[in-house]
Amino acid sequence: MKIEIWSDIACPWCYIGKRRFETALDAFAHKDSVEVAWRSFQLDPSLPEHFDGTETEYLSQMKGMPPEQVRQMFDHVTQQAAGEGLNYDFDAIVVANSFTAHRFLHYAGTQGVMSEAKEALLSGHFEQGRDIGDVSYLAEVASSLGLDAEETRWVLESVEYSAEVRADIAEARELGADGVPFFVIDRKYGISGAQLPAAFSQALETAWGESQKLTVLAGPQAADDEYPDGAVCGPDGCH
């Protein structure tokens, strides 16, 4: 079973959703048969490489939200994150465009460490106040994952993996995703938002059950004298 997860590194609910999904997956009896693939998405592609201000100021100025409303929203999200063992610090967040970081994730994927890179960047952004738009920071993360820091710099200073990021974003829209996190199971089931673990557990069980069923393309109803190979025998005899 394959699960694709569209998310943005700059999305606070994406980190919470990741934890809730992982809780459900850890308890899933067939978790060793599940492949998880991370896909790119940008909530705000128009964001400059760096915004000279706080996250509160950015949402207030760019989105037209009153500062008090923004702070209340952050308090709520911080509480939800704490419930999943995450220590959000919105005052320390560096507001930066996430496109380069998504390119880094695709590069990390070619090296077999995309999931680890995703976790490192989400923690760096929401818990540690690191700059996800800074190539030096991304090279530091690469080194911590056993990748070559200089090669990472070379990749990120080029335009490599830009097409892959854009393709992910376009595909999300084709699937009807207008927000993240967005989970797609075997391209048959979609789950939108940072649902509670119970919802993910139910979806995993349902999708697994469906994946174990066969679709009968031919059966006894197709059998006749002209095509005897379509005949079948069962507990009540042969037909």
Q: Which of 12, 119, 9 has its CA nearest to residue 75?
A: 12
State yes or no: pLDDT of 230 exceeds 70.
Answer: no
Cα 149 to Cα 21, 53, 140, distances in angstroms:
31, 29, 7
Q: Which CATH superfamily is domain 2-211 in?
A: Glutaredoxin (3.40.30.10)
pLDDT at 48: 87
Domain boundaries, the chain: 2-211
Ordered DSSP codes for 185-203: ETTTEEEES---HHHHHHH
Q: Report how far residue 209's alpha carbon sits from residue 207's, in angstroms, rounded to the nearest whole number.
A: 5
pLDDT at 231: 55
State yes or no: pLDDT of 95 exceeds 90.
Answer: yes
Cα 71 to Cα 106, 124, 210, 214, distances in angstroms:
33, 21, 43, 51
Of all residues in the chain, what percent carry a pLDDT higher than 90?
Answer: 80
State yes or no: pLDDT of 217 exceeds 70.
Answer: no
Q: Report how far residue 42's alpha carbon sits from residue 125's, in angstroms, rounded to the nearest whole number.
A: 15
pTM of the model: 0.88
Cβ distance 7 to 181 under 8 Å? yes
- Would you place residue 222 in the very low, low, confident or very high pLDDT band (cuts 50, 70, 90)? very low
- Give pLDDT tens digits for 16-52: 999 999 999 999 999 999 999 999 999 999 988 888 8
Strand pairing of 237-238 and 233-234?
A: antiparallel
Q: Rounded mean pLDDT of 214-226?
A: 51
Q: Report how far residue 143's alpha carbon sits from residue 149's, in angstroms, rounded to the nearest whole number.
A: 5
- Would you place residue 223 in the very low, low, confident or very high pLDDT band (cuts 50, 70, 90)? very low
Q: Report how far residue 187's alpha carbon sits from residue 197's, in angstroms, rounded to the nearest whole number.
A: 20
**DSSP H or E segment with residue 180:** none
pLDDT at 113: 98
pLDDT at 229: 54
Strand pairing of 2-7 and 35-40?
A: parallel
State yes or no: pLDDT of 104 exceeds 80.
Answer: yes
- Give pLDDT tens digits for 110-153: 999 999 999 999 999 999 999 999 999 999 999 999 999 999 99
Strand pairing of 182-185 and 233-234?
A: unpaired
Residue 188, token pair as written in the block: 């048959």
